[in-house]
Amino acid sequence: MSEAEARAVRILLVDDDEDDYVVTRDFLADSKRTIFSLDWIPTFDEALEAICRREHDLYLIDYRLGRRDGLELLKLAREAGCSAPLVLLTGQTDGEIDLEAMRAGAADYLVKGQIDAPLLERSIRYALEQSRTLQALRESEERYALSARGANDGLWVWNLRTNEVFYSPRWKSMFGYDEGAIGNSPDEWLARVHPDDAPILRSALEAHLQGRTPHFENEHRIRTRHGEERWMLSRGLAVRDADGIATRIAGSSTDITERKRAEERLTHDAFHDALTDLPNRALFMDRLQRAIENQSRHAASCYAVLFLDLDRFKVVNDSLGHVIGDELLVAVAGRLRNTLRTVDTVARLGGDEFAILVEGIDDITAAVRTACRIQNDLLLPFVIGEHEIFTSVSIGIAFSASGYARPQDVLRDADIAMYRAKANGKARHEVFDAAMHERALNLLQFETDLRRAIERQELRVYYQPIVSMASGKTVGVEALIRWQRGDQLISADKIISVAEETGLIVPIGDWVLREALQQLVAWDRAGVCQGYDMHVNLSPRQLLQPHLVARVSDALMLSGLPAKRLHLEVTESVLIESAEAAASLLRELRTLGVGLSLDDFGTGWSSLSSLRLFPFDVLKIDRSFLLDQDERRGDDIVRTISMLARLLGMQVTVEGLETAEQVERMRGLDIDFAQGFFFAAPMPPENLC
Ligand code: C2E
Ligand code: MG
Ligand code: MG
């Protein structure tokens, strides 16, 4: 039991009849719920003094007090500032003084002779309760008045008996109404509340009026006279009668529109991508989760996830800049939004990746149709600033039939399918299937094994001769990596692409460089393959590694070979992706004295004129030109390239010569070196010399 409950309720009885005092004392002693302490004063004057001392929680005042009456005492006590509850005791013959008593501020009145212990106790308890409520209301009204002045709140007082509401002028003006324009019906307020908010507002009111909540508080939207929608915070407190029935509720309404809008903005931002304003990954995963749950309840309602990745977005970004890149993403987002049904969720997952959740479909064909529609809609170029940009997407589709339990699994499979679409030539879509999962697992295993391949000494370097067109003699070799994985010999392309993705390219590249230089030393020592140069490939990832120049010069020092015996080959993509960094790095490498070749020329995007910026001494023309349907045209291109290369002070190598006829064709085209199966395929070092 708390201290307050343990404390006795102090009551003063003002009555000139001692018998009544005894009866009252006995009644109160009967109470099992509350402990009462009763004092007794028989005279009017003494009573007024005692009341002014405010030592009691409640006063029981007899109506008949000699010459004067209890009503007068009551009024004087109130005037003297007594706020404790006063209960008037009347005789059966005192007639209709009840109303007067209430007006004078009595909490209750009881008719002597009809009083019994429970009635007395109940009356005292309610009088105390009501007094506490009134006190709280007074305090809160003070607070409201304060905050009303400060925050320009509107005030309202609702008389529940008459069902009339007093609205303060400020309340009316908050909604654009003049003083006289609003009556005193509750509907002046409630009917203006947004239909979505009204039921909750009403039930919050109801709950408080029924005494289920300590106060009323509700946020709701309201329509102003000018049709604008504003957010209100309304608070109120009920005043109750002796039976605990609410008779009145008074409160305030505060305009919280700004705060609400800020909150809404924050929630929006948390779930949307800032650039395109599409839902972000978090929101997408949430919707996907719901789609999964929905499907587990209604098996017939299928869904699919489309994972989209723009093809060659990096090229746009790197060549035209991030600003244009961003604008392209926004434009793509807009087109996706237009293509899709409103029920579909299109989200930006990050970078140039988008995801679409298609719901309520019967089978996979609906998802495939959506993918086709998207690809079709992206066929038209985007006009951004002065640029006309063509873009396409690769799409991976995962379908709910696989019985997914977690959103991340659906997205993962759609992602795997998307990679498949890229690998199969981009600008297409693939539907995820179990075999794909298998392949993805294999790829993972491949990566893990590749990590161990170096220490297990499973990597090999093969060498392919480079032949002088003039003399027909081998002048150097190109080092090409292979992986002896069990009885499988894995080709360079596969190793390099995985190594680049995982970052393994750096240690692997270092290893190839050292291995190739050591091989050259070994041949020199053995007196075979005399004077060959060594050509080593560098991937873009390697080129942009810090300390690359130091690594190369260390490797050279370790071998003791002169720098000019080493040629590094880089592909065009480096020049596009980070032209300036690449140019300065290449110049540094040049100062070491190593040769530099531009590999696979003609497959990328660089123009001949941009080559001036880079210090290459050899241009390797890609074999694709040899394969041109129109031989004459292929040859013309090779001739033109070699002429320009010469103007820029470079020598020319042609790659991939397979037949005597091709070699013959090249003869007239002013080529310095050739490489290809016609001369020799890449081979292990022991086969070469
Ligand atoms: P690349 O530097 O252009 O090397 C030439 C590729 O063409 C080699 O493929 C070679 O086997 C192949 N080739 C040579 N002659 C012919 C021919 O007459 N016909 C045909 N069809 N192909 C021919 P490989 O060894 O599979 O290497 C592929 C690519 O992988 C290389 O292209 C190079 O870019 C990269 N690579 C190889 N080894 C390394 C390495 O150690 N480091 C790095 N970063 N890249 C490497
Ligand atoms: Mg090469
Ligand atoms: Mg090449």
- Taking only the tens place, the pLDDT of each residue in 596-642 is 999 988 876 666 667 888 899 999 999 888 887 888 888 888 898 89
Confidence class for position 151, pLDDT limits 50, 70, 90: low
User: Does 311 or 544 have the greater pLDDT score?
Assistant: 311
Interval between CA 99 and ligand 2 midpoint (Å)? 108
d(CA 311, ligand 3 centre) in Å: 23
Residue 463 CA to ligand 1 center (angstroms) comes to: 10
Helices (H), 97-210: 98-103, 117-151, 169-174, 187-190, 198-209
> Ligand 2 center to residue 583 CA distance, Å?
19
The ligand whose atoms approach the alpha carbon of 460 most closely is 1
3-state secondary structure of 611: helix
Burial of 515 per CB tally in 10 Å (0-12, 13-18, 19+): middle
> Using an 8 Å Cβ cutoff, are 400 and 384 in contact?
no
- Within 10 Å of residue 1's Cβ, how many Cβ atoms? 5
CA of 612 to the centre of ligand 3 (A): 20
Which residue's alpha carbon is nearest to atom 24 within ligand 1? Answer: 492
33: nearest Cα among 124, 159, 133: 124
Burial class (CB in 10 A: 0-12, 13-18, 19+), 685: buried
503-551 pLDDT, tens per residue?
899 999 999 999 999 999 999 999 998 889 999 999 988 887 889 999 9
Contacts of 205-209 with CB under 8 Å at 24 or more apart are 205/236, 205/249, 208/236, 208/237, 208/238, 208/246, 208/249, 209/160, 209/238, 209/246, 209/249
User: Which ligand is nearest the CA of 603, by number?
Assistant: 3
State mean pLDDT over 369-397: 92
Which residues, 6 or more positions from 155, have their beta carbon under 8 angstroms from its beta carbon?
A: 144, 145, 148, 167, 168, 170, 171, 250, 251, 252, 253
Handedness of CA 293, 294, 297, 300 (dihedral sign): negative
Atom from ligand 1 closest to the CA of residue 538: 44
pLDDT for the residue 242:
73
What is the per-residue pLDDT for 581?
83
Other C-beta atoms lying within 10 Å of the C-beta of residue 31: 16
Q: Which ligand is nearest to the CA of 663?
A: 1
Residue 283: pLDDT band (50, 70, 90) is: very high
Atom 41 of ligand 1 has which residue's CA nearest to it? 481
Mutation test of ligand 1: which of 459, 541, 655 has the most ligand atoms closer than 8 Å to its C-beta? Answer: 655
* Gap between the terminal Cα atoms of the chain: 102
CA distance 477 to 464: 5
Q: Does the pLDDT value for residue 587 go beyond 80?
A: yes
Shortest-distance Cα residue to atom 33 of ligand 1 = 537
Model confidence band, residue 314 (pLDDT cutoffs 50, 70, 90):
confident
Mean pLDDT of the chain: 89
> Coil, helix or strand for 181?
helix
Q: How far is the CA of 675 from the centre of ligand 3 (A)?
A: 10
The closest ligand to the CA of 675 turns out to be 1
Token pair, residue 451, equals: 């990590």
The residues, any chain, with a CB within 8 Å of residue 313's CB and separated by 6 or more, are: 325, 328, 351, 352, 391
Alpha helices per DSSP H over 527-578? 540-543, 548-559, 573-577
CA of 620 to the centre of ligand 3 (A): 7
Written as six digits, the tokens of 642 are 């070699």
Quote the ligand 1 centre to 493 CA distance (angstroms): 7
Whether the CB-CB separation of 252 and 236 falls below 8 Å is answered with yes
Q: Find the 650 Cα to ligand 3 centroid distance in Å.
A: 16
CA 369 vs CA 366, 401, 526: distances in Å: 5, 17, 66
- DSSP annotation of 193 reads B
Of 202 and 648, more confident: 202
Tell me the CA–centroid distance for residue 481 and ligand 1, in Å: 8
Handedness of CA 261, 263, 266, 268 (dihedral sign): negative
- For residue 656, report the phi and psi dihedrals to the nearest 5 degrees: 75, 30
| Nearest atom (ligand 1) to Cα of 658 | 18
Q: Among the atoms of ligand 1, which is closest to the Cα of residue 481?
A: 38
Measured from the alpha carbon of residue 596, the closest ligand is 2
Residues with Cβ within 6 A of ligand 1?
464, 479-481, 491-493, 496, 509, 512, 537-539, 569, 599-600, 655-658, 675-677, 682
> Which residues fall within 8 angstroms of residue 228, CB to CB, at 6 or more apart?
176
CB 484 within 8 A of CB 460: yes
Q: Closest ligand 1 atom to the C-alpha of 600?
A: 3
Same fold, 3-147 and 274-432: no
The type of residue at 463 is Y
Query: What's domain 456-688's superfamily in CATH?
Result: EAL domain (3.20.20.450)
Residue whose CA lies nearest to ligand 1 atom number 20: 656
* 432-465 burial code (b ≥16 CB/10 A, e <16): bbeebeeebeeeeebeebbeebeeeebbbbbbbb
* Structure tokens given for 363: 């089978």
2 pLDDT more than 60 = no
Domain 151-261: CATH architecture, name and number where available: 2-Layer Sandwich (3.30)
Ligand 1: residue of 489, 537, 675 to mutate (most ligand atoms within 8 A of CB) is 537
Residue with CA at minimum distance from ligand 1 atom 11: 682
From 478, 480, 541, give the residue whose CB has the most ligand 1 atoms within 8 Å, as the site to mutate: 480
Say yes or no to pLDDT of 33 above 60: yes
Nearest ligand to residue 463 Cα: 1
The rounded Å distance from CA 418 to ligand 1 centre is 27
Closest ligand 1 atom to residue 461 Cα is 41
Task: Indicate the Cα dihedral angle 27, 32, 36, 41, nearest 10°.
Answer: 0
Q: Is 158 within 8 Å of 249 (Cβ atoms)? A: yes
Ligand nearest to the CA of 464: 1
Residue 542 CA: nearest ligand 1 atom is 44
- Residue 149 in this model has a pLDDT that exceeds 60: no
Ligand 1 atom at shortest distance from the alpha carbon of 505: 44
| Ligand 1 geometric centre to CA of 675 (Å) | 11
Residue 1, pLDDT > 80, answer no
Predicted pLDDT of residue 598: 93
Q: Where are the domains of the chain?
A: 3-147, 151-261, 274-432, 456-688
The strand ranges marked E within 509-661 are 533-537, 566-571, 595-601, 618-621, 651-654
Q: Exposed, middle or buried by CB within 10 Å (0-12, 13-18, 19+), for 254?
A: buried
Under CATH, which architecture does the 3-147 domain have?
3-Layer(aba) Sandwich (3.40)
Distance 478 CA to ligand 1 centre (A): 9
Q: Atom 26 (ligand 1): residue with closest C-alpha?
A: 492
Neighbours of 408 (CB within 10 A): 11
Identify the pLDDT of residue 356: 97
For residue 415, the CA-to-ligand 1 centroid distance in Å is: 29
- Full-model pTM: 0.53
491 CA: nearest ligand 1 atom: 26
pLDDT at 439 exceeding the cut of 80? no
The atom number, within ligand 1, closest to the CA of 675 reads 15
Question: Is residue 432 predicted with pLDDT exceeding 50?
Answer: yes
- Beta strands 651-654 and 618-621 are parallel
Q: In terms of Cα–Cα distance, which of 608, 452, 475 is closest to 531?
A: 475
Q: Which ligand is nearest to the CA of 462?
A: 1
Mean pLDDT of the 324-333 span:
95
CB count within 10 Å of CB 399 equals 24
CATH topology of domain 274-432: Alpha-Beta Plaits (3.30.70)
CB 611 within 8 A of CB 640: no
